[in-house]
């Protein structure tokens, strides 16, 4: 069964309710089964990296992942009203090619280092009934109202917390339709194909990690000097955002919870300062400051909440005063670094 919608036809009750005002002046066969719930129909995506131009092309496709939308094979997407206080919604129908190009030099705030995989969200925005593609490193939700920024060419789309489209749009409805993960041999070069692509109802990516020192003590830590503490043993890394080589976590945009604990096992001087420090982007230090009690093993820890933009590394440092070099225990029960998105 199909409902044929034209500017002079008399659509069925179901069709009239769901496609009112959407297809005026357009002659498209829309199967009735595509109009029974608020889920995208016949939707596919193609993500193409070009090693020659260093550009990333995101294209809407039919469900086969290769055919452009057409009158014979439309893509149907339900969209909310662009009025925040309205609960109205309508189907939008795409019948021709639709794509968005991320230019060479535009980073989206993603892929900060070669060893870290980044997840990019793909959206559609409703420009007065015509759908356009948009993209962001940030999860904006399943649907809502947004103002986008024009991709703008090389270097014009570099912020992880911004939604980008070909043309800037103000206060338009959006819907999340896809997600892909990509890792670049050369960070942000857009010359490597995605490692995965998802289409349809996408939830916010779950991101978390836990790392330790794998029983390897870190010695020779200078007195009264902030020193990087290494955590090269990756116990788990959900989402692949932890760089074990450099002991840095690069979470995607949003709010994160981070904690670390360290046990000093050598060079401790009574009543001298011991501080655990968590840094964001090389600054924005949050730390716990205490004093050594005696000269035996001492533990220090810090818990932090951060708002991150996707390009900032989070790492751990130690500050311990008093004469002589210090040692941090490698025991995994006492010394570790972990974090998760909120």
**Which of 173, 199, 225 delimits the end of a domain?**
199
* Beta pairing partners, 146: 172
Same domain? 177 vs 231: no
Same domain? 65 vs 189: yes
Same domain? 68 vs 97: yes
Same domain? 214 vs 184: no
Q: What CATH code is carried by the domain that includes residue 305? A: 2.60.120.40
**Which of 137, 172, 199 delimits the end of a domain?**
199
pLDDT confidence of residue 155 = 75
Contacts of 25 (CB under 8 A, 6+ apart): 7
Number of domains in the chain: 2
**Which of 199, 219, 244 delimits the end of a domain?**
199
Residue 272 forms part of a structural domain: yes
pLDDT confidence of residue 154 = 77
Same domain? 177 vs 215: no
Which residue numbers in the chain have pLDDT < 70? 1-36, 115, 284
Angle at the Cα of 10 from the Cα atoms of 8 and 11, rounded to 5 degrees:
120
| DSSP-derived 3-state class of residue 15 | helix
Domain span at 158: 37-199
Same domain? 169 vs 44: yes
Residue 186 forms part of a structural domain: yes
pLDDT confidence of residue 50 = 82
pLDDT confidence of residue 6 = 30
| Residue 325: burial class (beta carbons within 10 Å; 0-12, 13-18, 19+) | middle
pLDDT confidence of residue 296 = 87
pTM for the predicted model, two decimal places? 0.85
């Amino acid at each position: 069964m199909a409902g044929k919608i034209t500017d002079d036809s008399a659509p069925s009750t179901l069709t009239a309710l769901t496609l009112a005002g959407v297809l005026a002046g357009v002659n498209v066969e829309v199967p009735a089964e595509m109009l029974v719930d608020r889920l995208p129909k016949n939707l596919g995506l193609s993500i193409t990296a070009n090693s020659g131009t260093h550009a990333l092309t995101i294209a809407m496709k039919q469900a086969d992942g290769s055919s452009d939308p057409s009158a014979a094979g439309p893509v149907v997407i339900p969209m909310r009203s662009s009025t925040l206080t309205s609960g109205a919604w309508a189907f939008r129908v795409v019948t021709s090619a639709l794509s968005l190009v991320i230019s060479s030099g535009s980073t989206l705030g993603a892929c900060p280092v070669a060893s870290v995989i980044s997840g990019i969200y793909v959206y559609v925005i409703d420009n007065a009934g015509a759908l356009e593609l948009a993209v962001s490193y940030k999860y904006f939700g399943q649907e809502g109202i947004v103002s986008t920024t024009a991709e703008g060419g090389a270097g014009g789309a570099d912020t992880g917390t911004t939604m980008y489209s070909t043309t800037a749009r103000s206060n338009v409805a959006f819907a999340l339709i896809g997600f892909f993960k990509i890792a670049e041999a050369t960070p942000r070069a857009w010359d490597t194909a995605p490692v995965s692509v998802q289409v349809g109802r996408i939830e916010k990516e779950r991101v978390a990690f836990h790392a330790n020192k794998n029983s390897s003590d870190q010695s020779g830590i200078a007195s009264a000097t902030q020193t990087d503490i290494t955590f090269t043993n990756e116990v788990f890394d959900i989402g692949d955002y932890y760089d074990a080589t450099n002991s840095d976590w690069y979470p995607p945009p949003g709010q994160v919870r981070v904690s670390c604990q360290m046990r000093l096992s050598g060079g401790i001087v009574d009543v001298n300062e011991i501080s655990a420090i968590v840094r964001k982007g090389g600054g924005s230090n949050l730390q716990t400051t205490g004093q050594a009690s005696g000269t035996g093993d001492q533990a220090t820890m810090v818990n932090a909440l951060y708002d991150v933009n996707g390009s900032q590394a989070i790492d751990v440092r130690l500050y311990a005063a008093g004469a002589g070099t210090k040692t941090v225990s490698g025991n995994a029960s006492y010394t570790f670094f972990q974090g998760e998105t909120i």
